[in-house]
Amino acid sequence: MPRRQLEKSDPIVIVGAGAFGLSTSLHLALRGYKNVTVFDKHDYEISKYDYRSGADSASSDLNKIIRSAYGSQTEYQDLSKEAIEWWNAWNEEIRSGKDLPPGLHPEDNVYINNGTLAFTDKDELPSFELETVRNMEAAGLGGTQLITMNPDHVEVAKRRGLGYGIDPFRCEERKKGNVGVLDTTGGVVVADKACRFVLHKAQTLGVKFVLDAKAGAFESYSYDSAGKVIGVKTKDGRKHLAKKVVVACGGWTPTLVPQLDGLCETTAGSVIMLKIPHDSPLFDRFAPERFPSWMWKLWDGADGGLYGFPRDDKGWMKIGYRGRKYTNPQTQPDGTVRSVPVTRYTPEKKVTQIPQSAMKVFKHFLAEYLPELAENGIDIELTRLCWYTDSFDNHYVVDDVPGQDVVMVATGGSGHAFKYLPNIGKWIVDIMEGVEMERTLVKRWQWRALEAGVKPFNILMEGITSAKAFENVAWSTDSDLRLGSKPRL
Ligand SMILES: Cc1cc2nc3c(=O)[nH]c(=O)nc-3n(C[C@H](O)[C@H](O)[C@H](O)COP(=O)(O)OP(=O)(O)OC[C@H]3O[C@@H](n4cnc5c(N)ncnc54)[C@H](O)[C@@H]3O)c2cc1C
């Protein structure tokens, strides 16, 4: 069906100032839309997207991995290539020092191209990595994927100053296999700084932001007498009329758009944070100039699915686990049980620990691959639940809600959308305008249902009896945070 044409002066409301909402607002402004307002229940002007300052969205984070490696999904590989061009341009822009938001300095980078190593404890490379190598070559990007067991590739890595990325866990020294691929196009995106940068850019281009627990919080839709959405109502009781409402509330979207039942569910990833002291010999070892981003057995089920980063300039080192994602199923006012996010900062019920099963995988990995942390008396400082919005097929959802063409969702990040902060909004605005709707990704992101007999990538909405449901999960305790085999000095 052809899309309803928007005028450049039409009021457009975006709910949610995470990666999807921010990027959409930026690209609307770049395309000349003059009346765009972003609402968020969290005041990012204060927290600056810093998790430790109270920001608990998926996008409010120290860092995220960027990779071009997408196995057979060359359309995301291409999207990564497009994103990396933007990330590099943003680094240049920041370096120029012109019009930076508070807290950002010319020496800051939002993208660090330190490489992303995907490795395994198996004897052979998984088919996903082999397909990536083939597909990057086919795309004219041969030589960007370096296989750790190939001596020629090791030489190339050294020549390019990325030798540290081949065996960062000292597997050879530890007599372990070192089977992996270093994606030299990838690395770290500095999530909190990048969000601040985009918010400021969008503001400068005229986008209005209402970031407040009441005035910014979506309460309900506003309807006309025929039952069509004509805007939103916020928690302060005000109505905001709009020709288009984009709901981009990450893990909170499925509760605001119940039509997403069966298509999207919010699930929790587990994260640990370690702090490497400046005077520790490990501070240099884990510096981004000497240590890559990494993914360990990413697609290997509950025993794998770890990923991690070099330390940041304050010494924080983050490791995440997605081998099993957990749910918090709660009965909603409409009687349906849906998973809802709960975090360290949720007013009603806080969660500061992570599931014990996730902690076990972290500790096994740390003992096997990073024993020097315990040997140097470094413990886990902080645990976090970070809320994904998974779709059943791991593709995003960018489309109008069936029967309500004023409301569009931009969600379903499925754990891999932050890297597209610079360009996802361009695609979302294209979809809003009905531009080039035949593109593979545009079609993948359409509203859809799981076809009978098709195995989902993510099994959704298993409810309260699921082994992944919080009710059935044992939790870590403070004593689990201790790694140090030696007492701290
Ligand atoms: C543990 C974890 C690790 C990840 N790692 C990576 C990675 O390495 N690389 C990568 O590319 N991607 C990664 N991702 C995915 C990426 O973080 C997400 O896809 C992306 O950040 C989602 O952005 P979003 O805008 O959909 O949601 P969010 O960032 O969660 O933003 C949603 C916003 O909506 C707001 N909101 C909610 N309810 C309301 C309401 N009622 N009214 C107003 N505002 C509301 C929230 O306050 C929030 O600001 C990871 C995700 C997780 C959870």
The H or E element containing residue 24 is: helix 19-30
Other CB atoms within a 10 A radius of the CB of residue 211 amount to 19
Residue 175 has what pLDDT? 92
- Which residue ranges have their beta carbon within 6 Å of ligand 1? 15-21, 39-42, 57-59, 64-65, 216-218, 248-252, 269, 271, 320, 386-389, 411, 413, 415-419
C-alpha of residue 125 to centroid of ligand 1, in Å: 31
Residue 327 has what pLDDT? 98
Residue 489 has what pLDDT? 41
User: What would the DSSP string read from start to end of 321-334?
Assistant: EEEEEEB-EEE-TT
C-alpha of residue 465 to centroid of ligand 1, in Å: 26
C-alpha of residue 59 to centroid of ligand 1, in Å: 4
Query: Looking up tokens 């990564």, which residue turns up?
Result: 80
Residue 21 has what pLDDT? 98
210 alpha-carbon distance from chain centroid: 23
Closest ligand 1 atom to 411 CA: 26
Residue 1 has what pLDDT? 57
Residue 487 has what pLDDT? 46
Residue 2 has what pLDDT? 61
CA distance 187 to 203: 28
DSSP state at residue 486: S
Q: Which of 26, 252, 408, 419 to mutate to test the pocket of ligand 1 (most atoms within 8 A of CB)?
A: 252
C-alpha of residue 173 to centroid of ligand 1, in Å: 39
The domain limits of the chain are 12-63+191-262+393-444, 264-391+468-481
Residue 31 has what pLDDT? 98
C-alpha of residue 489 to centroid of ligand 1, in Å: 38
Looking at CATH, the fold of the domain delimited by 12-63+191-262+393-444 is given as: FAD/NAD(P)-binding domain (3.50.50)
Closest ligand 1 atom to 388 CA: 53
Sheet with 244-247, edge to edge strand ranges: 208-211, 36-40, 12-15, 244-247, 404-411, 397-401
C-alpha of residue 388 to centroid of ligand 1, in Å: 7
Options 3.40.50.300, 3.20.20.110, 3.30.9.10, 3.30.70.360; CATH of 264-391+468-481: 3.30.9.10
Mean pLDDT by 10 residues, the chain (489 residues): 84 98 98 98 97 97 96 96 98 96 95 97 94 94 95 96 98 94 97 98 98 98 97 98 98 97 98 97 97 94 96 97 98 96 92 97 96 95 97 98 96 97 98 96 97 96 96 96 64
